[in-house]
Amino acid sequence: MSLIFWHDPISEPSRTVYYVIKKLGIEHELKQVAIVKDTRTEEFKKDVNPAGLIPVIKHDDQFIYESSTIIRYLLDAFDPEEVLLPRTDLKERAKVDYWLSWRNTTYRPASDTAIMKMIVNPMFLGADKPSEEECKALVKATQDELAVIEAAVTDKPYLAGDHLTIADVYLYNEILEGHHLFKLELDGKVKEWFDRVNEDEIVKELTDVLLEILASM
């Protein structure tokens, strides 16, 4: 068995894939790349991912793309405990799957648009910074989504129930980036949930790596 993982610690979905790999102790070869600088090269698109995105894994001879697919694949293949992602109880599985889908269809489009337009495009691609009014609207679109998280964690400690699942780590990593890059406000039950997720040793370790990188930028 061989597993290769293309990763950048500043990538939100990449950190969640790394979380799974570390949590399950999966033997792997780490290929650290820089988003934009490496991922947009013809070489990366030809040899790794035609879409020019990370995270990517290659398990034996198969490339696997899209973080939610990678996460499900690794947990289905390597997690007999089914704690982070239920497999046998389909109703429990649906509770976690809902959040993985919600991240893809709803939270991420808002948050990633804000990060790309306000930070990545002006910083790395020479684009103009959006107007103050547009920045406010971009931040608000993401901030508003936190109401959905708040509703979920008001009567239970974690998104899918009484223990940490991969849904919490996945959303935590997205929100972490917004909190540090564009001052997404975390308060009340959302902040309590956020801090609770950060009590996990591996979440904390990967968060600390990100914060060190951001501090040096």
Ligand X SMILES: N[C@@H](CCC(=O)N[C@@H](CS)C(=O)NCC(=O)O)C(=O)O
Q: Which residues bind ligand X (CB under 6 A)?
A: 11-13, 35-36, 39-40, 52-55, 66-67
User: What is the smallest separation between the CB atom of 55 and ligand X, expressed in angstroms?
Assistant: 6
When the beta carbons of 104 and 191 are compared against ligand X, the nearer one is 104
Cα atoms in the Cβ-side hemisphere of radius 13 Å centred on 209: 16
Closest CA to 48 of 27, 60, 62: 62
Rounded least distance, CB 52 to ligand X, Å: 5
Q: Determine the 3-state secondary structure of 108 from DSSP.
A: helix
Nearest CB to ligand X, comparing residues 67 and 165: 67
Closer residue to ligand X (CB): 17 or 159: 17
Query: Which one, of 66, 65, 54, 62, lies nearest residue 30 by Cα?
Result: 54
Cβ count within 10 A of residue 147:
10
CB contact burial 199-217 (16+ within 10 A = b; e otherwise): ebeebeebbeebeeeeeee
Q: CA 86 → CA 18, 40, 83, 97, 196, distances in Å?
A: 19, 36, 6, 9, 21
What sign results for the dihedral spanned by CA atoms 107, 113, 116, 117? negative
* Residue 53 vs 84, nearer CB to ligand X: 53
Residues paired with 161 in a beta bridge? 158
Shortest distance, CB of residue 85 to ligand X, whole angstroms? 16
Sign of CA dihedral 196, 198, 199, 203: positive
Please, what is the minimum distance in Å from the beta carbon of residue 9 to ligand X?
A: 11
141 or 162, CB closer to ligand X? 141
Distance of closest approach, residue 8 Cβ to ligand X, in angstroms: 7
Nearer to ligand X, 12 or 168 (CB): 12
Which is nearer to ligand X, 94 or 125 (by Cβ)? Answer: 125
Shortest Å, Cβ 36 to ligand X: 4
- Residue holding tokens 């979905």? 13
Least distance (Å) from ligand X to the CB of residue 142?
15
